[in-house]
Amino acid sequence: MERPRKMELLHTPKSELLRLMRENSLTVDEVVFLFGSNKVATADIRMNAPTICDKLLTMFFHQAVKHATVPPITA
């Protein structure tokens, strides 16, 4: 069921995608898919879907914290 929705979004005009983002009608997963497919840019996400932008930034920071290594303190 998820595959047809993504394929449908790929064939949706960009102006319509931006409207869907403004209306919060897209999920984070769908926006990431559209970004990976070069249908939307980071600026499109930032300007039209600030809530999704915040979620993506939060996810990024959580991943960064998990992968961060603290160098040993040497005296």
10 lies in which domain range?
2-55
- How many independent structural domains does the chain possess? 1
Q: What is the pLDDT of residue 75?
A: 66
Query: For residue 61, is it within any domain?
Result: no
pTM here is 0.79
pLDDT tens per residue across span 23-64: 999 999 999 999 999 999 999 999 999 999 999 999 999 888
Alpha helix (H) residue ranges in the chain: 2-10, 14-22, 28-36, 42-48, 50-67
Query: For residue 25, is it within any domain?
Result: yes
Query: For residue 32, is it within any domain?
Result: yes
